[in-house]
A and B are shown apart, each in its own frame.
Chain A
């Protein structure tokens, strides 16, 4: 009796795991399909570029405040922590390089992507999910207007365009925050701060690699947000769950992709 109950619970658990695995694989396939369709129907987004520009405003410009403020504080904290460690080794002049490299190579693209997922990604998912719930996407379909070309593709390209620009701004403002803490507040020599940075930050190896990362994060975060909204069950609960999933999946994807990209970039 006890044995059969134990066996039953094991079977049930295994069945549950299998079901969830199948669901994950199915969603991965559906996401890949949406990505391919988005690329296929992207012509319209470039022909009528004002549609994409409008979305750049909503995803990019509207995210500026949170990006700039966060970057400023991140830069200041980096300078504080960096100085605290570097002064022990008598190389506090290298604080400029430390702040710049940390921002350009890692923190700029990664933190921007995480903030983007929280600010713009959730907005995209909620908007598309609500459009589905209120039958706006069905109405478009019935008017012989393809929602992927009209709604999904412009938002996708807006995210892809916005992310590297936001990451660049993040790094620039972060360096400024680091400068304010390091030079006027701590008293590091301004000439040393800038010249060390100029001498040690490489355009190809550091800045371009950072931009490539932010471009990849832009594709991933925007596509996850769009898919979650497009695939959300048309209920209030469905949209709220999709919005949460956007933040969780985007954040994990960004961190995992960062590791993969960094590994490749260091090898090449």
Chain B
């Protein structure tokens, strides 16, 4: 068994000729909470999709438990995915199923467990996220934070080795954010899993992560423990961590000169 459950080796990926990742290297050791951070559009979620085998890299490889993901056939990919749980940014709950049935879904689909055991397991998972009492509510009746917690219970329904979180803190109120923060750390430790968090919320992520990668311009711009990165003098990391307006990351999208743009004569129609 390798020390690292996920390894990303010289990975490049792009859409329509534009490279999003240019030779990324990352390792995710077993039992750790590792965060991938970076600005919007830096390809963080795409990295999760590459780990899950939903898209194929242009160059390099992703290895999960020693297996190269993009070289697997459909059965191989599904076998690897059974070791993973993914919490989608907006939960992605099945809208025609109740909270209970959503959590029971992977158990019913992928195991031969009797219904009585599934019931107990689902209630345990819902209890872990504090929503046992909401088992019969439909997704439309749940708040954003509650839906995210039900989705988390579903993601860990089969006790995966790798739990991936796509922007778990986005759009949550401070209480829900704190609850999700605690849950990620405690579930990781209780299940002995490896957690991969994709986020741009510095405070919450630094609170629970053991190691952090910063992605910018398609490469790993910086990496280290949250403590190291807080002290970092690298201009990009400093700007990102402290949320500064001025720095290497410009506020404005590249554009022509502001003054000349405003003074430009528009042709009469």
The interface of chain A, by Cβ under 8 A from chain B, is: 130-131, 134-136, 138-139, 141-146, 150
Chain A CB within 8 A of B110 CB: yes
* B119 interface contact, C-beta 8 A: no
Cross-chain contact of B84 among A130, A131, A142 (Cβ < 8 A) = A142
Per-residue interface assignment for chain B, residues 97 to 117, with 1 indicating a CB less than 8 Å from any chain A CB and 0 otherwise? 000000001100110000000
For A150, what are the chain B residues with a Cβ–Cβ distance below 8 Å?
109
What residues of chain A lie closer than 8 Å to B88, measured between beta carbons?
135, 138-139
- Min CB–CB distance B79 → chain A (angstroms): 8
Shortest CB-to-CB span from B73 to chain A, Å, is 13
Residue from A131, A138, A139 with most neighbouring chain B CB atoms (10 Å): A139
What 0/1 readout, one digit per residue, does chain B (227-261) give for beta carbons within 8 Å of chain A? Answer: 00000000000000000000000000000000000
How many angstroms from the CA of A111 to the CA of B84 in the assembled complex?
48
- B62-80 contact mask (Cβ, 8 Å, vs A): 1 or 0: 0000000000000001110
Q: Closest Cβ of chain A: how far from B72's Cβ, in Å?
A: 12
- Distance in angstroms from A136 CB to nearest chain B CB is 5
Contact A143 B81 (CB under 8 A): yes
User: CB-CB < 8 A to B110: which residues of A?
Assistant: 143-145
The 9 closest A-B pairs by CB, nearest first: A139-B92, A144-B78, A135-B92, A144-B81, A142-B86, A145-B109, A143-B106, A144-B82, A135-B88
Query: Known contacts A134-B92, A135-B90: does B109 contact A143 (CB below 8 Å)?
Result: yes
- Tell me the complex Cα distance, A135–B139, Å: 14
**Residue of A130, A134, A143, A146 touching B90 (CB-CB under 8 A):** A134
Extra A-B contacts (8), CB below 8 Å, given A141-B54, A144-B77: A134-B95, A135-B88, A135-B92, A139-B86, A139-B92, A142-B81, A143-B105, A144-B110
